[in-house]
Amino acid sequence: MKMIRADPKPEKPILLTGKKYTEFRREVAKRAGERCEAVNSGGKRCNAHAPVLIYGVFDVFNCGHVAHIVRRRKGGDVLSNVKWKCYHHHIEIEHGPQWGIRGIDENNQNTTIA
């Protein structure tokens, strides 16, 4: 006898690579007007300028980032699962200061790396 699942198997998330991911990045940036979509606890949007490229080159510190709401492997590369964020909000705030240009000292305080 064949068993029938009550819940259908969930679809695999869309994971883009290469040129398709680059096109997706441009689409996310266009939707945001190349402005950071991060919102603080008071409801105010960052709105910092976060271009796709600067003089045709991606600059990790000054260009915008695709920030996934639900981790990429689970939520996929779809517009409803991403926000366009500046470096500060995506890397230093969302991922934590240990990933930013500032380090963390023994007292768990941000420090500027010289």
Cα(53)–Cα(50) distance, integer angstroms: 9
What is residue 98's predicted lDDT score, i.e. its pLDDT?
A: 72
> Which own/partner pairs from 70-75 qualify as long-range (CB within 8 Å, at least 24 positions apart)?
72/13, 72/15, 73/13, 73/15, 74/13, 75/13
Asked if 82 and 66 touch (Cβ cutoff 8 Å), the reply is yes
What is residue 113's predicted lDDT score, i.e. its pLDDT?
A: 43
What is residue 12's predicted lDDT score, i.e. its pLDDT?
A: 87
Name residues of the chain where pLDDT drops below 50: 104, 106-114
Quick check: helix, strand or coil at residue 69? coil
pTM listed for this prediction: 0.77
